[in-house]
């Protein structure tokens, strides 16, 4: 496969490039949060997938050239088959076409034997991934943009001049004027008493030796009306994050402001950056610095973080060269709009016979949002959380024709479908966790999205929300 590239005008805010496509089914925007978040570098946007894979339970729909077929095969295997043998891409760009989409947490049911206790209120696919033969890649560090695509596609060759012209004529961001509003109060699926009961049950399992850590979460939901793209434009300003995304599918629209990288593969090098440990931000600079320092020095948060680092080292080891997995950084503090996080970095080198999709399958779902050991933690989650997680704690990202991959952990992520918007927040429970502190940490993590939804509830039009 040859790669076709053409440089485009650079926009500091890539939402300007995505705006004409935002309401089209199959459009995707992997958003570094720039310029509101300076930690990101690349934005990737695409539309018009040539193939779409949609997994529900034991079957995957393959939508291609106006036809739909069904397959019972493993979704990761199917996706690998459609991507084909990895090809050389552009040396300076992470993505030159390939797969973009989401892998829901409940896709894990294809990988592990889990009980079926929690109710499924989501009614969305376990996986939706499009194969894109063109994309726009924006490098904010180099301040350059490219249209990239498959050079061996006659259909794309015919479309290419139109795409170049369209992306070259964009002038302004043109904020979405169609409103978005929330109707009624945001509701949690766990009362304070229910949370306490689940917390104590996890503590019992830890004392009995079933597990070391379990990630306990609650679901927040509200009725809504309006355009989810309008809501996302405000989310990316209100809570900017380096692994954000907006995905528009017929079944669901996804608005993610995730701060957490799950897996990155480039040139065979592998990286994961688990988050464990959270403190709230404060307007007072001295108090804010003190809170960050308290997080950095917290023996409990360090121990919790280290448990997940060890889990991920083992997960990476399934598909990395023996001896290549290492931990270059432990317990770094990263600060976001409403919270400080404790973040570690684990790296390795992909073994020659394994692919990025093998790595994703072997690590899925991410250990930072399950607990340890992973399978037992997931069984306990299914027992204690009232509703299935759907996409939450799954992953959003790309796997390129060139074999590269970058995907997030789908936290701080809103799902919109059937005039309902919802998200989850939670935290890891360990032996010395304090119930009230853990409950408050959950709400610290939820604060940005709760505040934003409250703004949408109080005002009838998104345009009335102050920056």
The total of other beta-carbon atoms located within 10 Å of residue 314's CB is 16
Residue (of 95, 104, 102, 89) closest to 45 by Cα position: 95
Q: Say whether 262 sits in a helix, a strand or coil.
A: strand
The total of other beta-carbon atoms located within 10 Å of residue 24's CB is 10
Largest CA distance in the chain: 65
- φ/ψ bin of 252: left (φ > 0), alpha (ψ from -120 to 50), beta (otherwise): beta
Can you state the percent helix, strand and coil of the chain, rounding each to 5? 30, 35, 35
User: Active-site residue among 80, 264, 273, 276?
Assistant: 276
| Alpha-helical runs (H) found in 58-102 | 75-83
What is the rounded CA–CA span in Å between residue 129 and residue 389? 18
User: What's phi and psi for 368, nearest 5 deg?
Assistant: -70, -15
Q: Are 404 and 265 in contact (CB under 8 A)?
A: yes
**Tokens matching residue 101:** 């989409």
Question: 222 vs 415, 423, 428, CA distance in Å?
Answer: 11, 10, 25
Q: Are strands 213-226 and 243-248 parallel, antiparallel or unpaired?
A: unpaired
User: Active-site residue among 122, 260, 304, 438?
Assistant: 260
User: What's phi and psi for 369, nearest 5 deg?
Assistant: -120, 20
**Tokens matching residue 161:** 């001049």
**Tokens matching residue 267:** 């040139």
The total of other beta-carbon atoms located within 10 Å of residue 67's CB is 7
The total of other beta-carbon atoms located within 10 Å of residue 322's CB is 9
* 271 tagged catalytic: no
What is the rounded CA–CA span in Å between residue 270 and residue 31? 21
What is the rounded CA–CA span in Å between residue 76 and residue 466? 42
* 64 tagged catalytic: no
Query: Positive or negative CA dihedral for 239, 240, 245, 246?
Result: positive
What is the rounded CA–CA span in Å between residue 69 and residue 75? 14
Residue (of 307, 306, 397) closest to 359 by Cα position: 397
The total of other beta-carbon atoms located within 10 Å of residue 298's CB is 16
Active site positions, annotated: 260, 276
């Amino acid at each position: 496969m040859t790669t076709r590239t053409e440089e485009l005008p650079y926009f500091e805010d890539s939402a300007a490039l995505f705006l004409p496509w935002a309401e089209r089914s199959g459009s995707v925007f992997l958003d570094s949060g720039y310029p509101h978040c300076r930690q990101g570098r690349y934005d990737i946007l695409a539309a018009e997938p040539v193939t779409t894979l949609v997994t529900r339970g034991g079957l995957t729909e393959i939508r291609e050239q106006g036809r739909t077929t069904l397959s019972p095969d493993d979704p990761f295997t199917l996706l690998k088959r459609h991507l084909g043998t990895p090809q050389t891409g552009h040396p300076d760009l992470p993505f030159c076409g390939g797969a973009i989409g989401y892998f829901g947490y409940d896709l894990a049911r294809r990988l592990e034997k889990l009980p079926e206790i929690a109710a499924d209120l989501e009614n969305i696919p376990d996986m939706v991934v499009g194969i894109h033969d063109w994309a726009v890649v924006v490098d904010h560090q180099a301040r350059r943009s490219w249209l990239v695509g498959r050079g061996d596609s006659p259909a794309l060759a015919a479309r290419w001049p139109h795409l170049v012209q369209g992306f070259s004529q964009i002038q302004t961001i043109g904020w979405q004027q169609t409103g978005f509003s929330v109707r009624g109060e945001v509701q949690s699926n766990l009362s304070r008493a229910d949370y306490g009961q689940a917390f104590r049950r996890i503590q019992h399992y830890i004392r009995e030796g079933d597990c070391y850590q379990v990630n306990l979460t609650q679901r927040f939901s509200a009725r809504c009306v309006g355009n989810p793209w309008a809501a996302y434009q405000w989310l990316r300003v209100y809570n900017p994050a380096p692994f954000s995304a907006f995905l528009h599918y017929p079944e669901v629209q996804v608005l993610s402001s995730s701060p957490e990288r799950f897996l990155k593969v480039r040139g065979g090098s592998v990286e994961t950056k688990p988050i464990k440990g959270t403190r709230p931000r404060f307007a007072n600079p001295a108090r804010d610095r003190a809170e960050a320092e308290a997080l950095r020095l917290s023996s409990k948060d360090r121990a919790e973080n280290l448990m997940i680092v060890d889990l991920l080292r083992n997960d990476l080891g399934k598909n990395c060269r023996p001896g290549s997995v290492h931990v270059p950084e432990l317990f770094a503090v990263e600060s976001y709009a409403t919270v400080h996080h404790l973040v570690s970095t684990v790296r390795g080198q992909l073994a020659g016979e394994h692919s990025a999709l093998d790595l994703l399958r072997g690590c899925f779902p991410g250990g930072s949002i399950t607990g340890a050991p992973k399978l037992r933690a997931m069984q306990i989650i299914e027992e204690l959380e009232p509703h299935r997680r759907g996409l939450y704690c799954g992953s959003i990202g790309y796997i390129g024709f060139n074999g590269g991959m970058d995907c997030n952990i789908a936290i701080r992520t809103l799902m919109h479908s059937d005039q309902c918007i919802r998200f989850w927040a939670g935290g890891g429970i360990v032996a010395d966790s304090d119930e009230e502190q853990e409950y408050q940490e959950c709400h610290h993590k939820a604060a940005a999205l709760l505040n934003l939804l409250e703004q949408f509830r109080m005002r009838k039009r998104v345009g009335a929300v102050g920056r």
